[in-house]
Amino acid sequence: MQARQLPARHGVAWLLAGLQLFRRSPPLLTALTFAYLFVVLFLNLLPLIGPFLLPLVLPALTAIVANGVRALEQGRPVNKITLLHGLAANHIGLLRLGGLHVLGSIAILAISMLIEGGPQNLGKLEDADPGAMLAMLGRLLVVAAPVLMAFWFAPLLVAWDGVPALKSVFFSFIASIRNWRAFAVYGLAVATLGIAIPGLILLLAGLISPVLLNILSVALRMVLVFVMAPVLMASVYLSYRDVFQNALTPAGEAPPSDQPADVPQSPPDA
């Protein structure tokens, strides 16, 4: 398997390309995103089995949404056949990948409990002061980052390229490591657009008028839910395409030579 090593600015390019796709068909991309979020929320509400069932089916859900985004980009109709592309042929691989995802989620939870001193401290996250909450979230992000990297590209590698589950996790992790600069810029851009700028706007609005604060709070939530979330969903597919298939060409950048770098030798098939 081959993966390009991209410049840092491609992290922003994924978001800009996602915004372009959103502008092409806001209802379609929003519907795909809301369907994904609805399934995630529904599974989270299931007692006992929900926390295990969600990571099990998440790779298939990711592939379904990516199928819709790819069809939108290519100007093809989005229907049942389009959305389910690759799932039937690679259902065993996706199920195995889901099993690995379950193990990864359990590992994150276990390590987080060890670091934070048990589930009772994790449960106090909402009641903590902002500084302590940010510090705790930072530690949790460090713990979760390796798993996020291992599963960022893995669902599409399995569903579209037929890569075995364990190999897909390995390839995804190596590709993410090779493109850490792009992912760092991507994360910084998401944090700026989704947290820093809205927070600053609300802070200034609160100094001016409580009424203005309430109005802008509702408006910003609408923007984050109906615009930012679909753009982020599209960016997952676009990052995969940029790294493993046809590279994006940000403004002012020459088209890259189509010579992705070899990913190191993978572990045995799974």
Percent of the chain with pLDDT over 70: 85
Query: What mean pLDDT is predicted for residues 226-232?
Result: 96
Q: In angstroms, rounded to a whole number, what is the distance separating the alpha carbons of residues 267 and 218?
A: 49
What is the pLDDT at residue 244? 94
pLDDT of residue 114: 84
Q: What is the pLDDT of residue 87?
A: 96
The pLDDT value given to residue 59:
97
- Phi and psi of 124, rounded to 5°? -90, 10
Backbone angles phi, psi at 265, to 5 degrees: -50, 135
Question: What band does 95 get if pLDDT is binned at 50, 70 and 90?
Answer: very high
| Pick from 108-122, 159-173, 180-194: least confident | 108-122
Which pLDDT score is estimated for 142? 87
Per-residue pLDDT at 263: 53
For range 23-39, the mean pLDDT = 96
Q: Given a cut of 70, is residue 50 above it in pLDDT?
A: yes
Predicted pLDDT at 75? 93
Distance CA 182, CA 250 (A): 13
Residue 1 has pLDDT above 80, yes or no: no
Average pLDDT along the chain: 88
Question: How many beta carbons lie within 10 A of that of residue 4, not counting itself?
Answer: 21
